[in-house]
């Protein structure tokens, strides 16, 4: 369940303790290996999975290091990105998954959903160690109607939380 931990933070429990050391599998319409730059460019309905975490986007760049093998250390996804694990879903215009720091940062019209609860804003940072998700208004945020909400600080965080039925 999304639980408020402060004005704009929530617990993304399915994402807590995610194994960012698990193998990274991908499917894409095309792949371009840029070996000298230590990166791979994936395009065309890209789908990356890792230990139950799925990232989909039209395009992704995968950065890696070669230390006795190929170790993926960062994924940059663009063009409308969706991250899912369990019943949690996050979406935004752009996402960066830093495997070494165990952080997923999404920017631009971000939305975090779980079991009818939702948060919207300009930027979302998910800490895969703790499962803590922080949404702020940097960049344009969307209101409940889907229209941009602008303010002096670049937008506000909006959200909806479901309330369980209480017995009388």
Q: What domains appear along the chain, each with residue ranges and CATH number?
A: 4-160 (2.60.450.10)
Look up residue 165 and give its DSSP letter.
P
Rounded average pLDDT per 10-residue block, the chain, 168 residues: 39 69 94 94 97 96 85 94 94 96 94 90 92 81 51 68 84
Closest CA to 96 of 51, 126, 139: 126
Question: pLDDT, tens digit, for every residue of 35-84?
Answer: 999 999 999 999 999 999 999 999 999 999 987 777 899 999 999 999 99
Closest CA to 21 of 49, 56, 50: 50
Give the pLDDT of residue 150.
47
Q: What is the pTM of this model?
A: 0.80
**CA pair distance 110, 108, nearest whole angstrom:** 6
């Amino acid at each position: 369940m999304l639980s408020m931990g402060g004005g704009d933070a929530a617990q993304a429990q399915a994402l807590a303790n995610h194994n960012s050391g698990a193998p990274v599998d991908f499917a894409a319409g095309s792949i371009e290996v840029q070996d000298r730059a230590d990166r791979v460019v994936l395009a065309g309905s890209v789908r990356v999975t890792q230990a139950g975490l799925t990232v989909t986007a039209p395009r992704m760049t995968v950065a890696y290091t070669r230390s006795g093998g190929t170790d993926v250390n960062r994924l940059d996804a663009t063009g409308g990105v969706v991250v899912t694990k369990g019943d949690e879903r996050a979406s935004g215009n752009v996402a960066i998954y830093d495997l070494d720091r165990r952080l997923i940062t999404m920017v631009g019209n971000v939305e975090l959903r779980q079991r009818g609860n939702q948060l919207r804003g300009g930027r979302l940072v998910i800490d895969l160690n703790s499962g803590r998700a922080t949404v702020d208004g940097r960049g344009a945020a969307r209101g409940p109607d889907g229209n941009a909400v602008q303010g002096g600080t670049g937008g506000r965080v909006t959200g909806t939380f479901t309330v369980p039925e209480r017995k009388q």
